[in-house]
Structure 1
Amino acid sequence: MTKIPEILCIGSVLWDVIGRSASPMRLGSDVPGRIARIPGGVAMNIAMTLTRFDLVPALLTAIGKDEEGQELLATATRIGMITDHIYLSDDLPTDIYMAVEGANGLIAAIADAHSLEAAGDKILRPLADGTLGNVQAPYPGLVALDGNLTETLLEDISQNPLFAAADLRVAPASPGKAERLNPLLKHPRATFYVNLEEAGYLCQRDFGSTAEAALALVKRGAFRAMVSDGGNMAALGDKETLLTAQPPEVMVSRVTGAGDTFMAAHIAAEHRGETGTTALESALTAAAHYVSGETPL
């Protein structure tokens, strides 16, 4: 019996290759550490966190039919995700992300999401062909969308009737891709999850606080805006309210995927009925557990 998804995760699903060292690093550093290959990508990170909160996510993405892709599919299915709707490509390789982290944070990263970009709107076919919805009856539930899609496709999604009824949750893939999300400011039901730097790119200005950034994003058209800033105050704003909360203090042992974990934890908190500051604090606690290394990969 096919499971019914509680949320769709649309975007990058790939392998993360992460090198971590306990030493501070700079350009040209050569230090001992550990290298791991784990499932990753914004959509995948969000989906993995959602499964830890007993939600059933479905992935809409592009994966190659290569050995790496088959292994990734098997892993996602084993974790508890619905993989039936993934676009499987005969000629595109499975995407990959590579990062180096030191004691002083992320040193450098390269995201190769070219296959996802090349697949384009093929990944959205289940939303149009009646599998998950169609124009007459668009998908009515939660949708987590990431900024690894092309600007053209994100522009289409912002106006596409297939997303008219969705509770859309939007995350940039990185500060460098944040401006791709500008078209989605038009969507009447989109909640943005960004960090302070990404908010600055979206608004083309610097902000002194997350509260200021959240209000600016709402003024630019966002239905809701959640802005984080590492261990500093986080803010959630809409046209009527502004909430802030301080993350718990923890020792940081990893950073890749922290923002995705925060977003997914907030979605899960609201899904189980939490609201306002309670949901925000639940998300910050989950993100703190993740960056401290308490949450297993």
Structure 2
Amino acid sequence: MQPSPPQDTRIICIGAMLWDVIGRSTRRMQPGDDVAGRVHRIPGGVAMNIGLALVRQRLAPVMLSSVSRDPPGDLLIAEAERMGMDTHHVWRESDLPTDTYLAVETPDGLMAAVADARALEAAGTTILAPLREGPLGSAEDPWTGTVVIDGNLTLNVITGLARDRCFSRARLRIAPASPDKATRLWPLLSHPQAVFHLNLAEAEALVGRRLENAASAATAVLSMGARRVIVTNGSSDVADAKSGSATITQAPPPVTPVRVTGAGDNFVAAHLAAELNGATRAEALAAAVNFGAAYVAGKEHP
């Protein structure tokens, strides 16, 4: 018998909201190459990408981030609203330029990327005010829905968030943003309602050693104190490890990759949406794998 969907499907996405500038080439590249291709500028950031994918899943997430009052920031807010994202609680008082992510993709995947998230980092805990002082919650009346947190937040913010009473009733979904930022997430390992979404490289960074596959990576993070860990490993395998339960593994369907940036974020959104709709662990993993694969294959609305 399939379980009933949870009643509270409210979602807050906390983290990066910025412009993705992505250069894609159909040619394989080496460092120093200068090749023809296409450059796209689209709304991005891990938390934002997850939020927009949730919108495509017919959910209504709220964004908490920092976006500057400059022309790129105004355009980013307008475009995000047009796409269906609630940005009414985004902090907009930064004097820094609106954040940007720059990436180069080839047929082999992501070649290199640089994330400039200075506005978000400088804002610190200020972006959390709607959850601490209303209208989204407070220490006396904490938010009881799902909170998506990405690793673009600083370690100080994440450390404070881990013991903040305003998050004591929240179901957390944690997405690192990159292997470089995965180590910031250790304060959240003991949160009783946290689900960690990692790729293999991020799991290795968090654990501090090489890991053989998605299943061994998920189990390794579980041994650090996490209650549930979901690890992707490109086209190879995906695993869901949960404390006290058997680990589930699946293989993604083969696709010809068209894009890479945002694939993991779409996976997270599809998995979350499936579980909010009452899916079992195996069903949710299958839904996320298929949604993520369709995104990589270039389908706009998988």
Provide the secondary structure at the position in 2 that maps to 1:64.
Answer: coil
2:9 and 2:146 in contact (8 A); partners too = no
Equivalent runs, 1:245-264 vs 2, <5 Å: 245-264=250-269
Equivalent runs, 1:82-93 vs 2, <5 Å: 82-93=86-97
Amino acid at match of 2:251: Q
Deviation at 1:279, TM superposition (A): 0.6
The answer to whether structure 1 residue 12 and structure 2 residue 12 are counterparts is no
Equivalent runs, 1:192-207 vs 2, <5 Å: 192-207=196-211
Gaps of 5+ in 2: 1-7
Partner of 2:114: 110
Amino acid at match of 2:295: Y
Q: TM-score, normalised by structure 1?
A: 0.97
2:9 and 2:276 in contact (8 A); partners too = no
Partner of 2:74: 70
Distance 1:59 1:72, change over 3 A: same
1:5 and 1:57 in contact (8 A); partners too = no
Equivalent runs, 1:156-167 vs 2, <5 Å: 156-167=160-171
Q: Figure out how many residues of one structure are paired with residues of the other and give that number.
A: 294
Deviation at 1:296, TM superposition (A): 5.4
Equivalent runs, 1:223-238 vs 2, <5 Å: 223-238=227-242
Partner of 2:288: 283
For 1:144 and 1:102, locate their aligned partners in 2 and report how far apart those are by CA, in whole Å: 29
For 1:294 and 1:19, locate their aligned partners in 2 and report how far apart those are by CA, in whole Å: 18
RMSD over equivalenced CA pairs, Å: 1.3
For 1:210 and 1:185, locate their aligned partners in 2 and report how far apart those are by CA, in whole Å: 18
For 1:90 and 1:102, locate their aligned partners in 2 and report how far apart those are by CA, in whole Å: 34
Deviation at 1:46, TM superposition (A): 0.2
Deviates more, 1:48-57 or 1:74-83: 74-83
For 1:105 and 1:228, locate their aligned partners in 2 and report how far apart those are by CA, in whole Å: 15
Partner of 2:144: 140
For 1:26 and 1:254, locate their aligned partners in 2 and report how far apart those are by CA, in whole Å: 18
1:9 and 1:46 in contact (8 A); partners too = yes
Deviation at 1:40, TM superposition (A): 0.4
For 2:111 and 2:211, locate their aligned partners in 1 and report how far apart those are by CA, in whole Å: 23
Deviation at 1:218, TM superposition (A): 1.2
Equivalent runs, 1:89-104 vs 2, <5 Å: 89-104=93-108
Amino acid at match of 1:281: A
Deviation at 1:239, TM superposition (A): 0.9
Per-residue CA deviations over 1:28-56 (Å, capped at 9, x if unaligned) read 11111100100000011001100000000
Per-residue CA deviations over 1:104-140 (Å, capped at 9, x if unaligned) read 1111111000110000000000001121110011100
1:140 and 1:166 in contact (8 A); partners too = yes
Larger RCO (alpha carbons 8 Å, 6+ apart): 2
1:5 and 1:82 in contact (8 A); partners too = no
Per-residue CA deviations over 1:237-280 (Å, capped at 9, x if unaligned) read 11122111111110011111111111111001111111111110
For 1:107 and 1:79, locate their aligned partners in 2 and report how far apart those are by CA, in whole Å: 28
Partner of 1:168: 172
Question: Which of 129, 135, 138 is equivalent to 1:125?
Answer: 129
Distance 1:90 1:219, change over 3 A: closer
Provide the secondary structure at the position in 2 that maps to 1:111.
Answer: strand
Gaps of 5+ in 1: none
Partner of 1:30: 34
Partner of 2:49: 45
For 1:142 and 1:204, locate their aligned partners in 2 and report how far apart those are by CA, in whole Å: 29
Q: Identity percentage over the alignment?
A: 48
For 1:155 and 1:140, locate their aligned partners in 2 and report how far apart those are by CA, in whole Å: 20
